[in-house]
């Protein structure tokens, strides 16, 4: 399997357990690793033969900037569902960090999901 990486995307959203967290935009850092079979795209050099990175970025952005969620785990799960709509992607690993919530340390979560 081959992997496509998109690292350290930064978006603002209103997510968290506390009402204060949901009332003020906070910064979220998202990195994804997509398991794909590159195969012939390495030779064809055509976007239509692979995964469009911008499409993946837009899906992540829509979730982070969209409806408020309580948990990072839920945000990651919703992103995975959107990304795995692309049948070229066999697995996705998503890491989300909430970089501004604590004064010391950065909480985050990493999940891995597979296309059925």
Structure tokens at 41: 């795209």
pLDDT computed for residue 1 by the predictor: 87
pLDDT computed for residue 20 by the predictor: 84
35-43: Cβ within 8 A, 24+ apart: 35/1, 35/2, 35/3, 35/89, 35/90, 35/91, 35/92, 35/93, 36/1, 36/2, 36/3, 36/4, 36/88, 36/89, 36/90, 37/1, 37/2, 37/88, 37/90, 38/2
| Residue whose entry in the numeric block shows the structure tokens 């033969």 | 49
Catalytic residue list: 98
Range of the domain at 16: 2-114
In angstroms, rounded to a whole number, what is the distance separating the alpha carbons of residues 86 and 67?
22
pLDDT computed for residue 86 by the predictor: 95
| Residue whose entry in the numeric block shows the structure tokens 């994804």 | 32
**Positions of the chain with pLDDT lower than 50, given as ranges:** none
CATH number of the domain to which 43 belongs: 3.30.1130.10
pLDDT computed for residue 102 by the predictor: 82
pLDDT computed for residue 13 by the predictor: 97
pLDDT computed for residue 18 by the predictor: 86
Does pTM surpass 0.75?
Answer: yes
Number of structural domains the chain divides into? 1
């Amino acid at each position: 399997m081959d992997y496509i990486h998109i690292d350290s995307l930064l978006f603002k959203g209103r997510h968290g357990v506390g009402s204060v967290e949901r009332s003020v935009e906070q910064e979220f850092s998202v990195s994804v690793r997509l398991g794909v079979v590159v195969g012939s795209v390495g030779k064809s050099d055509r976007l239509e033969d692979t995964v469009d990175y911008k499409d993946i970025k837009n899906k992540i952005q829509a979730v982070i900037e969209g409806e408020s969620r309580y948990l990072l785990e839920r945000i990651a799960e919703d992103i995975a569902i959107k990304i795995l709509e692309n049948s070229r992607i066999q697995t996705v690993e998503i890491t989300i960090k909430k970089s501004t919530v604590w004064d010391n340390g950065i909480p985050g979560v990493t999940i891995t999901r597979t296309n059925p």
